[in-house]
């Protein structure tokens, strides 16, 4: 059904592409794609480069641009940071003059001709970003109303596929203004504009294109955005006026049985930056091994996920997503293509794995550990407060909460959701993911909990099913449909709750009370029991709060009125004071996961990175001195501001300026 929908969507949306500016024939006939082939073994990663990575921009290629008379005067726009000191001076001067990144309409924004030349150098990979819902508007600036396309977009809006197959769409669109929502969306202002959607996208199929775009953005003071799937919950893969790099099509996956490095001997995958969670899982299944990715099938693995920790239903066995990565191929802010490993560019390696996506460089592929085949028992259950009243319901959940350290010690991961239904509460455990356990072992682990339910008179539905391998167990557990894609009705926020909070009964009780009181305001709370396997040596900058957690508590902030700044501010205050506030107060040694964070968090440096922040900020200045990469609440983002007016929520619909 989904596959069919996507096919028909692709068919309907063909021709959606608007044209990039054209250039005179005298120029187009003189300009070839700016790229050359380098040997596949020119890397320190220990695995040859993918074909798309051997196509690079080099000094010789830049010299060819300089030597092409028709475009010579524009050649400096595509040169590396280090080519001539004269250029660096030019960039410095420009920076003194221009406080903000330039947006269309600015005097310094590149002329149409320059965009046309850029597209020729890219080999035709440039495309304007058009918000998908524009087909539903009769009088938008895009002038592209089309009832059939609108119907297709409307039908696909809550699926990941619609958005990740588009170069600029966002799965959580509150941060685009919001603009050009589906008509009727509660947050809609009724208009459809470019807003916080990036302006142009490079459909990346090789490294040379990334290098060209990085150089062009840096020399032209353009805002640069790195986008993979558009899953980001805080709008980090879009930006007004930005040139966006679409990494989604770098899909290589290669299995290497005997990889050797200074820190690891064993099987690995080398995988492209566009590989999605389910694609990595499928490849692992095919080779009879296990690999680490998230619970949402379509989250990318080597974009935002492994850049910021990455939790996984296998983390209790193998560690965080970031812990899997042994080597990265990266384009830096200066345009260079380099390798980062624990021994080569080791500081960049450390920062790229934990320091957050879109901040330190552009990853094109990763070499990751793979592990033994893992059998799983998937247990699910549900109950509610309707028959018993709320007290037994809460007592049952408190019992489960008290048991969490034991569940973690027994190497399980779980995803249990409490819903405030107004007239009562619902609880669904879907699933309790018991790795390397039989049904009998799982039942034994859970027996005290179910005895408690029985004693409390709670009736429940239960199912436990055993799978010999991970992938079918995973497929039975999660799908894209579980995650409210396309919604503007809520924002997330999480707390990583440390072991400390189970140390004494009063503290356990206080912690639980904070969660329980949150449900009076939050419509949904999901509790994950999760604890990453201990690593021999920590080689990355993953939030230290992950290393000492027993649970991650995800609270959804329901936004009653997302269409006004006042309504959004109300939601912000509710979240800070009534939803997350009490839990934050009782977990001073906890943190927040930056990838599922409250967009309004004011303590983000400490919450996302703890004691690692200072070193990350130093490395940000080293590897991106010009501030080419910016993301909301990213390392170093406090030097920038998005001037979006007062919207009630931090949008990307404004100029990006130095503070
Ligand atoms: C439905 C849903 C379920 C989720 N489940 C999980 C989960 O189980 N476990 C978990 O840990 N997280 C989970 N997350 C959070 C997820 O890890 C983040 O949203 C993640 O940032 C998505 O990365 P992406 O590359 O797919 O998305 P994008 O929105 O495209 O990118 C996210 C960030 O990464 C940057 N980026 C993208 N590609 C690159 C690249 N090649 N190089 C450098 N930077 C890049 C972008 O600039 C942006 O800042 C979930 C999110 C959603 C929406
Ligand atoms: C300058 O950049 C080119 C890009 O390929 C690289 O080969 C060269 O080593 C760099 N030089 C310095 C001094 O960094
Ligand atoms: C969109 O609509 C809102 C609310 O009506 C209005 O404030 C805003 O100026 C509009 N934006 C554009 C670009 O028309
Ligand atoms: C338990 O779940 C499995 C997998 O979804 C299903 O095949 C089976 O029929 C379920 N058993 C019961 C008793 O519902
Ligand atoms: C903690 O809560 C439980 C109920 O869940 C209660 O029985 C117990 O007395 C409480 N302990 C303290 C120290 O408050
Ligand atoms: C039921 C079960 O497997 N319980 C085990 C959980 O883990 C602890 C120690 O890690 C064991 O002692 C229990 O037997």
Residue of 133, 191, 195, 567 to test ligand 3 pocket, by largest number of atoms within 8 Å of CB: 191
Residue of 462, 465, 475 to test ligand 4 pocket, by largest number of atoms within 8 Å of CB: 465
Per-residue confidence band for 13, with pLDDT thresholds at 50, 70 and 90 = low
C-beta 632 within 6 A of ligand 1? no
Q: For the domain 253-369, what is the CATH code? A: 3.30.465.10
The whole-angstrom separation of Cα 172 and Cα 556 is 13
pTM of the shown model: 0.95
Q: What is the mean pLDDT of residues 49-60?
A: 98
For the CA of 593, the closest atom of ligand 1 is 11
Residue of 272, 304, 311, 338 to test ligand 1 pocket, by largest number of atoms within 8 Å of CB: 304
User: Closest ligand to 473 CA?
Assistant: 4
Residue of 103, 189, 196 to test ligand 3 pocket, by largest number of atoms within 8 Å of CB: 189
pLDDT above 60 (res 9): no
Say if residues 418 and 524 touch (Cβ distance below 8 Å).
Answer: yes
Closest residue (by CA) to atom 6 of ligand 3?
189
Q: Name residue 36's beta-bridge partners.
A: 56
Per-residue confidence band for 3, with pLDDT thresholds at 50, 70 and 90 = very low
Interval 202-247: pLDDT, tens:
999 999 999 999 999 999 999 999 999 999 999 999 999 999 999 9
pLDDT above 90 (res 483): no
The predicted pLDDT at position 19 comes to: 74
Q: What is the mean pLDDT of residues 83-105?
A: 72
Interval 507-550: pLDDT, tens:
999 999 999 999 999 999 999 999 999 999 999 999 999 999 99
The predicted pLDDT at position 90 comes to: 65
For the CA of 444, the closest atom of ligand 6 is 1
Closest residue (by CA) to atom 5 of ligand 4?
476
Closest residue (by CA) to atom 4 of ligand 6?
445
Q: What is the mean pLDDT of residues 180-196?
A: 95
pLDDT above 50 (res 6): no
Closest residue (by CA) to atom 4 of ligand 3?
189
C-beta 409 within 6 A of ligand 6? yes
pLDDT above 60 (res 85): no
- Find the 339 Cα to ligand 2 centroid distance in Å: 14
Give the helix ranges, DSSP H, for 220-276.
none
C-beta 193 within 6 A of ligand 3? yes
- Find the 270 Cα to ligand 3 centroid distance in Å: 46
The predicted pLDDT at position 519 comes to: 96
Interval 265-319: pLDDT, tens:
999 999 999 999 999 999 999 999 999 999 999 999 999 999 999 999 999 999 9
Both tokens of 488, joined, read 């503007």
For the CA of 230, the closest atom of ligand 1 is 29
Q: Is the peptide bond before 431 cis (omega within 30 degrees of 0)?
A: yes
The predicted pLDDT at position 246 comes to: 98
Closest residue (by CA) to atom 13 of ligand 3?
193
Strands (E) in 493-598, as ranges, are: 494-498, 524-529, 549-558
- Find the 191 Cα to ligand 3 centroid distance in Å: 6
For the CA of 476, the closest atom of ligand 4 is 5
The whole-angstrom separation of Cα 505 and Cα 426 is 26
The predicted pLDDT at position 15 comes to: 44
C-beta 440 within 6 A of ligand 6? no
C-beta 237 within 6 A of ligand 1? yes
For the CA of 179, the closest atom of ligand 3 is 1
Both tokens of 490, joined, read 């809520």
The predicted pLDDT at position 7 comes to: 43
Do 253-369 and 376-603 share a fold?
A: no
C-beta 230 within 6 A of ligand 1? yes
Q: What is the mean pLDDT of residues 249-261?
A: 98
Per-residue confidence band for 564, with pLDDT thresholds at 50, 70 and 90 = very high
Q: For the domain 376-603, what is the CATH code? A: 3.40.462.20
C-beta 444 within 6 A of ligand 6? yes
- Find the 177 Cα to ligand 3 centroid distance in Å: 10
Quick one: which of 112, 130, 111, 114 has its CA closest to 122? Answer: 114
- Find the 448 Cα to ligand 4 centroid distance in Å: 23
Quick one: which of 479, 493, 328, 499 has its CA closest to 406? Answer: 499
Residue of 52, 251, 303 to test ligand 1 pocket, by largest number of atoms within 8 Å of CB: 303
The predicted pLDDT at position 91 comes to: 65
User: Closest ligand to 624 CA?
Assistant: 1
User: What whole-number percentage of the chain has pLDDT above 70?
Assistant: 95
User: What whole-number percentage of the chain has pLDDT above 90?
Assistant: 92
User: Closest ligand to 438 CA?
Assistant: 6
Q: Report residue 366: phi and psi, to 5°.
A: -140, 150
Q: What is the DSSP string of 540-551?
A: S---HHHHTEEE
Half-sphere exposure (Cβ direction) of 269: Cα atoms closer than 13 Å:
28
Sketch the domain layout of the chain as residue ranges: 253-369, 376-603
- Find the 636 Cα to ligand 6 centroid distance in Å: 44
For the CA of 195, the closest atom of ligand 3 is 13
Closest residue (by CA) to atom 3 of ligand 4?
465
The predicted pLDDT at position 86 comes to: 53
> What are the Cα distances from residue 571, in Å, to 10, 413, 547?
37, 30, 30
Interval 99-152: pLDDT, tens:
999 999 998 899 999 999 999 999 999 999 999 999 999 999 999 999 999 999
Q: Is 576 exposed, middle or buried (0-12, 13-18, 19+ CB in 10 A)?
A: middle
Q: What is the mean pLDDT of the chain?
A: 94
Residues flanking ligand 2, CB < 6 Å: 58-59, 80, 82, 336
Per-residue confidence band for 480, with pLDDT thresholds at 50, 70 and 90 = confident
Q: What is the mean pLDDT of residues 402-406?
A: 98
User: Closest ligand to 476 CA?
Assistant: 4
- Find the 600 Cα to ligand 4 centroid distance in Å: 41
Say if residues 565 and 647 touch (Cβ distance below 8 Å).
Answer: yes
Q: What is the mean pLDDT of residues 174-201?
A: 96
pLDDT above 80 (res 93): no
SS3 state of residue 127:
strand
Strands (E) in 402-536, as ranges, are: 412-420, 425-435, 461-467, 490-491, 494-498, 524-529
For the CA of 463, the closest atom of ligand 4 is 1
The predicted pLDDT at position 134 comes to: 98
Quick one: which of 107, 108, 115, 158 has its CA closest to 133? Answer: 158
């Amino acid at each position: 059904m989904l596959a069919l929908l996507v096919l028909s969507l692709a068919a309907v949306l063909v021709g959606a592409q608007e044209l990039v500016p054209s250039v005179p024939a005298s120029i187009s006939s003189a300009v070839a794609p700016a790229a050359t082939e380098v040997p596949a073994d020119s890397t320190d990663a220990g695995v040859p480069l993918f074909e798309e990575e051997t196509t690079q921009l080099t000094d010789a290629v830049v010299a060819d641009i300089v030597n092409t008379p028709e475009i010579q005067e524009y050649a400096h726009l595509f040169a590396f940071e280090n080519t001539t000191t004269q250029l660096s001076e030019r960039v410095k001067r420009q920076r003194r003059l221009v406080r903000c990144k330039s947006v269309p309409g600015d005097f310094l924004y590149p002329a149409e001709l320059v965009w046309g030349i850029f597209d020729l150098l890219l080999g035709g990979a440039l495309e304007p970003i058009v918000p998908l819902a524009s087909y539903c508007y009769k009088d938008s600036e895009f002038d592209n109303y089309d009832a059939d396309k609108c119907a297709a977009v409307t039908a696909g809006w809550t699926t990941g596929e619609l958005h990740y197959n588009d170069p600029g769409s966002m799965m959580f669109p509150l941060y685009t203004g919001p603009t050009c929502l589906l008509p009727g969306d509660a947050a809609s202002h009724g208009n459809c504009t470019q807003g916080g959607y990036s302006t142009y996208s490079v459909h990346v199929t090789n490294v040379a294109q990334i290098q060209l775009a990085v150089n062009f953005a840096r020399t032209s003071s353009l805002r640069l955005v790195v986008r993979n799937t558009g899953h980001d919950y805080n709008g980090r893969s879009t930006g007004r006026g930005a040139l966006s790099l679409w990494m989604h099509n770098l899909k290589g996956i290669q299995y290497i049985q005997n990889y050797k490095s200074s820190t690891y001997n064993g099987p690995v995958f080398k995988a492209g930056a566009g590989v999605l969670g389910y694609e990595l899982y499928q490849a692992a299944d095919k080779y009879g091994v296990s690999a680490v990715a998230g619970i949402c099938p379509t989250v990318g693995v080597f974009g935002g996920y492994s850049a910021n920790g990455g939790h996984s239903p296998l983390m209790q066995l193998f560690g965080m997503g970031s812990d899997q990565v042994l080597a990265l191929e990266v384009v830096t802010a200066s345009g260079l293509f380099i390798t980062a490993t624990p021994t080569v560019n080791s500081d960049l390696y450390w920062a790229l794995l934990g320091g957050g996506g879109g901040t330190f460089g552009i990853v094109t592929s990763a070499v990751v550990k793979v592990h033994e085949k893992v059998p799983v028992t998937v247990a699910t259950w549900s109950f509610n407060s309707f028959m018993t009243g709320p007290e037994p319901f809460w007592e049952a959940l408190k019992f489960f909460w008290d048991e969490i350290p034991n569940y973690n010690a027994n190497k399980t991961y779980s995803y249990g959701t409490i819903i405030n239904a107004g007239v009562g509460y619902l609880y669904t455990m879907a699933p309790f993911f018991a790795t390397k356990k039989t049904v009998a072992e799982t039942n034994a682990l859970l027996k005290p909990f179910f005895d408690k339910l029985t004693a409390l008179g709670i009736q429940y539905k239960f199912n436990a099913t055993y799978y010999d391998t991970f992938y079918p167990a995973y497929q039975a557990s999660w799908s894209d449909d579980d995650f409210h894609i396309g919604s503007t009705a809520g924002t997330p926020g999480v707390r990583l709750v440390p072991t400390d909070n189970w140390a004494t009964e009063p503290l356990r009780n206080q912690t639980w009370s904070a969660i329980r009181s949150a449900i009076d305001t939050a419509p949904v709370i999901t509790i994950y029991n999760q604890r990453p396997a201990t690593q021999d040596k920590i080689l990355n900058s993953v939030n230290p709060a992950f290393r000492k957690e027993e649970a991650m508590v995800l609270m959804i902030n329901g936004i009653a009125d997302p269409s006004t700044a006042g309504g959004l501010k109300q939601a912000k205050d509710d979240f800070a004071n009534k939803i997350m506030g009490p839990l934050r107060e009782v977990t001073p040694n906890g943190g927040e996961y930056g990838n599922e964070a409250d967009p309004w968090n004011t303590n983000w440096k400490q919450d996302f990175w703890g004691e690692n922040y200072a070193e990350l900020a130093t490395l940000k200045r080293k590897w991106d001195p010009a501030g080419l990469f910016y993301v909301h609440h990213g390392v170093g983002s406090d030097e920038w501001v998005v001037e979006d007016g007062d919207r009630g929520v931090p949008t990307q619909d404004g100029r990006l300026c130095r503070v």
